[in-house]
Amino acid sequence: MPLLEPEAPKDPFVLFDRWFRDASDAGALQPDAVTLATATRGGTPSARMVLFKGVEDGAFVLYSNYGSRKGRELAQNNRAALVFFWSIERHQVRVSGTVRRLSREASAAYFHSRPRGAQLSALASRQSRVVASREVLEKAVLELARRYPDDVPIPRDWGGYALTPRWIEFWENREDRLHDRLRYVRQKGGRWRLERLAP
C-alpha cells in the first residue's frame, strides 16, 4: 500500500500503532524488538536490540540496567535513536529524540509484572560487566531465589526509560527502490510537520 501524504494521519503515533499491529497480526518474529542507538558524551556510538514496551504520554518506553553500556551512555548523553524493522510488512520506523528515566514507581510496577525468572536474572546480572563464566551467573540466580522465596526486590540500578521523539520517519518498500519515506517533525506546541524524503 502506498504511503501517501493525503492518507497519512496527523499524529504519527496513530500510524505507528497501525504498523505495529499489522506486523504483529502478520506474524512478525518478535515485533517488539527494536534497535536502540546511543552515544557517549564524545559521540562514540553503539547500538543493540532491546524490547519496546509501549508508548506512554507520547514517548517510546523500554527498560534496562542503568549501569549497562546503554545506561552509562544515556547518563552522559540523553540523545538516542530507535529503529523498528518488520520485514514481513516491508516497513521500517526510525525515531530520534531525547531520553529520560521513568519514575521509580513506574519502574517497580513493570518489574513486578515480569516473570519471576526474569526478575531474578535482572537482580543477578550487572549488565555489560565482564563475568568469569555462565556458572557464576547461574549460581547467583539460585542464591537470590533462595534469599527471596516470595517477592524479588527491584534492583537499585534497573528501571525504565522514555524516549520522546523529535522526529519519526516511516519507510515503506516500493518497486524499483523508489521507496516511500514520510517524516513527522515535532513543532512548537506539540504539533507535527509532515515531509517527504527522497528514498
Compute the chain's Rg from CA coordinates: 19
Residue 10: CB atoms within 10 A of its CB come to 10
pTM: 0.93
Structural domains of the chain, with CATH: 5-106+157-196 (2.30.110.10), 113-153 (no CATH)
Q: Which residue of the set 41, 134, 146, 177 is catalytic?
A: 177
* pLDDT, tens digit, 9 for 90 and up, residues 167-193: 999 999 999 999 999 999 999 988 999
* pLDDT, tens digit, 9 for 90 and up, residues 51-73: 999 999 999 999 999 999 999 99
Is 191 marked active-site?
Answer: no
* pLDDT, tens digit, 9 for 90 and up, residues 129-171: 888 999 999 999 999 999 999 999 999 999 999 999 999 999 9
Residue 86: band (very low, low, confident or very high) from pLDDT cuts 50, 70, 90 = very high
Residue 127: band (very low, low, confident or very high) from pLDDT cuts 50, 70, 90 = confident
Q: What percent of the chain has pLDDT over 70?
A: 99
Residues 6 or more apart whose Cβ sits within 8 Å of residue 55? 13, 16, 17, 61
- Which has the closest alpha carbon to 52: 44, 60, 40, 64? 60
